[in-house]
Structure 1
């Protein structure tokens, strides 16, 4: 067996996982190969069997190896499968936006049917914050990485959309939208800067977002879905033309 090298005493599971991953991705253990047993790997890496067991569990989660009852652990791939969050980070913002439309339009329809008085109050507060941010950024806040007005405006916009999704009272939809936010945020900040919204349209989207909140408050699911779809589609069409 090849030498894997003894590990330093910090953090051992992560180191063991990385060392074994490197051997697999480099092809030292081709697909279909049975890995050495836990005892052998533990001795070679200079760690305990429990550390090896956790490392193998992590590699299984990454889709690189697969345990087979009574037979051992086998290599099933040499490239780790991307998890959902990683895939979203790597995806084009237009692709993420396309899926966002599917999620949010249905969420808006559900919100109109399920919103509570408390939800409506949150929506109006979020709308007011978005309108304020569209005018002046809501104050001397510089956002992440000094992104200034654009960061503040995008965060206020996302907060309003998140409030609509929350009003649907479906935890799966809420979690799914939450997964989109990191991938959307930077792309939207870049888009706002590209469109020079602050100079050319200081009330950017105010009418559409006000109409959305009113439709949800009135319980008009068709109007809520239609308004949001039109608003998101305008941005999506721009993204498609400029990617």
Structure 2
């Protein structure tokens, strides 16, 4: 099978794309052993090192697997979805259930680990949320999420912070939809202020139990509203 020689630009990316097209297009079915590195290099018009890097990329995408002494085999015809893609495609209620697990723990850690600078940041984020009550829905939702980001940051766990950052784009879009659909701010432009104030106070006071409870209650209310849509 001739795959066609490649143009001289990022050769690894081109080789990866060309091989991926063959796999996803059905040229090589699941269970098929790919041609050797030499044969692939000749077909693509590149060096063996380029082919090797391309195969590593395909293995990372979950399409192929190297078996020692046997070669490289196709194990799937569609690439494995990354975390961000899964979040974008997931039901918002599922995302919220996971968010509760992550963020309630983060709030409790924040209460135990917060510094004076963290407390200042939390107070500022709460003030920003209150100020945004006079703005449009998009600004209010952004300010709401900024407060939650500050809570997670106060936990001083970079893994938690990175994980929550992945949630932010999905949360921002879906929460804005909810606020607009349910007209949540029509009667109270600063919807949820009491619960958020209680969360900030609990973290500032170092009360992990109260911080977890305040956040859990708030997220459960939001989840219930999302389930009603």
The counterpart of 2:175, out of the listed 164, 188, 193, is: 188
Q: Can you list the C-alpha shifts for 1:67-92, whole angstroms capped at 9, x where unaligned?
A: 12232211111121111111111111
Q: Show the counterpart of 1:145.
A: none
The answer for the alignment partner of 2:79 in structure 1 is 80
Question: What is the Cα deviation at residue 117 of structure 1?
Answer: 0.9
TM-score by length of 2: 0.94
The residue number in structure 2 matching 1:113 is 112
Deviation string 1:14-41 (CA, Å, 9 cap, x unpaired) is 2221211121122221222111111211
- What is the CA–CA distance in structure 2 between the aligned matches of 1:228 and 1:135, rounded to whole Å? 24
Instruction: Indicate whether 1:206 and 2:205 are aligned.
Output: no
**1:127 Cα deviation from its structure 2 partner:** 0.6
Matched, 1:38 2:37: yes
| Equivalent residues of 1:66, 1:76 under 8 A apart | yes
Deviation at residue 230 of structure 1 after TM alignment:
0.9
Corresponding residue of 1:64: 63
User: Is structure 2 residue 221 aligned with structure 1 residue 221?
Assistant: no
For 1:73, what is the secondary structure of its paired residue? strand
1 CA distance for matches of 2:81 and 2:54?
A: 17
1:90-169 correspondence runs (5 A): 90-136=89-135, 149-169=136-156
**RMSD of aligned residue pairs (Cα, Å):** 1.4
- Counterpart CA distance in 2 for 1:52 and 1:192 is 50
Moved over 3 A (4+): none
| In 2, Cα distance between equivalents of 1:46 and 1:238 | 57
Hey, what does 1:197 align to over in structure 2? 184
CA distance in 2, matches of 1:199, 1:38: 64
Flag structure 2 segments of 5+ consecutive residues without an equivalent: none
Number of equivalent positions: 229
1-structure distance, mates of 2:145, 2:198: 16
**Partner secondary structure for residue 36 of structure 1:** coil
Aligned position for 1:142: none
* Contact 1:135-1:198 within 8 A present in 2 as well: no
Calculate the TM-score normalised by the size of structure 1: 0.89
Following TM superposition, by how much is the alpha carbon of 1:11 offset from its aligned partner in structure 2, in angstroms? 2.9
